[in-house]
Structure 1
């Protein structure tokens, strides 16, 4: 039996590569004769560069960029031919935050773009997801040379000083380069379904401050380009999507971009079963997340898809609406303590159990 293993990261515990290897190890214990094909996945968030490097090769360039609160952190740019890939979370990920998202800047993401430019790339793909910031991408614009009558590089809290933004210098710096925003969400910048309202609480913005912070982004949008702020994906990564769209970027779902890069459709057609997974499998997985993207590819390939997750938070009806035949919870199988204490071993054990049902 041929099994394609295509999980996302298990946030906070396993990278996508580690998750794929753990699933393969457990499956092989139960079904040593099965042929296993590992295709770690990403949706634009953490792991985006590593997954693409594993799939396509290329050169990893080490750089140092500014983190959300001004300290310096290491990051990488993947260069494959004349294409460069950068991962916004390396410069502004939630793991780099100390305090609410309104205090963090995205200058470091702009510095990643500059490093990609200096590599000679003619196409730059920016993976968006896993951010801890919420500055509308103002820091990105500042790093690339945009000017303003206010402060762009000190987080959302400083945006109430801004009434005019000129992005022309930043656009000029990117002249002749194709820019792509690889997003895992399609939300606008502001409003009821915008970046602050949707993701602010999980980034540390107190509920009673949501309206105020969203108002700062509204003002920033008015000062730059209100219409662009309403486009799908403008709210990705706390508004970095907005900055990239202002700079002329096109938007692509990150999962689709990665699926194409790893040849997922062809590999699914060559398999009898596809396994995907992520840390928490819930109905938000439908919004550009890896399991739903993998399941869509499986539907094209006419292959069954099952999911292994840290937690499964949907019922069978919702699961099948997402295109997943069955989903298995790591916490339910081995308990929360072991799931966090030994995530790779626990995931391998879960995969071994699932193989008893699904392997021939």
Structure 2
């Protein structure tokens, strides 16, 4: 039997390659062919997943985290294309719960990663968007590229989303040397409004209801500044503009295009070819919930398996979806670490062991 193993990360515990390897280590039928294709949808792990599949060069880059503190990032250079990951500089995982404050967090570090890619000669920069702690509509990123927001007196604004309400213009033209930009994300939310960056994602980044309203107004104002300064229109409602706290809108304003993160990764690693050859598909992520079935890795894999008449097993830390909903999406069965261990604490502390044990059980079930 040919088993395709293509999970997303288990956020906070295991990367996607580590999840795939744990399943391989636990599989107990030696004659089965196990194919690993770890995945990402643009969020944390985007660069690592691509680096395992592409013949490229990983280049370390000094950057900063959402509070401006020194951090380490990298770019993956494959020919003339550079891949960068916003979460390496803007990720929510870089902050403690007490440090989360989208009024003040910045995307400046992503701008440093993009600038490094430009300096290394990339003609195209693909930016994975997701898992951000920021809500500044890319203002920090623009500042690192020489086009940060300024007030009526021409002074640079402080970090964060809240100060954007006073933005009067941009400091200058972005220094990109005609590099083309691609935003890889599976979030189609607009920048502002009920389905916008602040309303939908602000609370998980630490925003209160009052702060969500403040941030939404600030981003709406800044969208007008970007449109005037960069000669674009319709930023406030552009699909994908709300990705990663509005980074999508800033990249669109810079002439970038938005593409599906999971589709981009799938194409680069030859996932469709592997699905065509598989007998069983195993995917998964840390929390299998309603968001998983809306453009995330699991949704894409399950749909691909369903269309080919393949069984698809989801391994997860926990499961918050209904059986009917998951089945309609193409999921055959779901196994979780919480159910396996009977404890959330053990599921979080020993995920690799749990995945190995679940894989051993699955191998006996499905190979038979």
**TM-score w.r.t. length of structure 1:** 0.95
* Aligned 1:144-163 pairs, distance under 5 A: 144-150=145-151, 151-152=156-157, 154-163=159-168
Aligned to 2:267: 260
Are the aligned partners of 2:100 and 2:133 in contact in 1 as well (CA < 8 Å)?
Answer: no
Aligned to 2:25: 25
Q: Post-superposition, which runs of at least 4 consecutive aligned residues in structure 1 deviate over 6 A?
A: none
Distance in 2 of aligned mates of 1:264 and 1:58: 19
Q: Deviations over 1:131-157 (max 9, x none)?
A: 111111111111111154324551112
RMSD over aligned CA atoms reads 1.5
Aligned to 1:113: 114
Q: Which moved more, 1:220-229 or 1:111-120?
A: 220-229
Aligned to 2:312: 305
**Counterpart of 2:234 in 1: which secondary structure?**
helix
* Aligned 1:1-360 pairs, distance under 5 A: 1-27=1-27, 29=28, 31-97=29-95, 98-150=99-151, 151-152=156-157, 154-165=159-170, 169-170=173-174, 173-225=175-227, 227-335=234-342, 336-360=344-368
Are the aligned partners of 2:118 and 2:177 in contact in 1 as well (CA < 8 Å)?
Answer: no
Distance in 1 of aligned mates of 2:157 and 2:290: 35
**Counterpart of 1:103 in 2: which secondary structure?**
coil
Per-residue deviation, 1:158: 1.4
Are the aligned partners of 1:265 and 1:301 in contact in 2 as well (CA < 8 Å)?
Answer: no
**Counterpart of 1:86 in 2: which secondary structure?**
strand
Per-residue deviation, 1:12: 0.6
Per-residue deviation, 1:66: 2.0
Distance in 2 of aligned mates of 1:153 and 1:266: 48
Distance in 1 of aligned mates of 2:189 and 2:14: 27
**Counterpart of 1:84 in 2: which secondary structure?**
strand
Which blocks of at least 5 consecutive residues in structure 1 are unaligned?
Answer: none
Are the aligned partners of 1:269 and 1:303 in contact in 2 as well (CA < 8 Å)?
Answer: no
Per-residue deviation, 1:293: 1.3
Are the aligned partners of 1:107 and 1:153 in contact in 2 as well (CA < 8 Å)?
Answer: no
Which blocks of at least 5 consecutive residues in structure 2 are unaligned?
Answer: 228-232
Tell me the number of residue pairs that the alignment of Structure 1 and Structure 2 aligns: 355
Are the aligned partners of 2:189 and 2:241 in contact in 1 as well (CA < 8 Å)?
Answer: yes
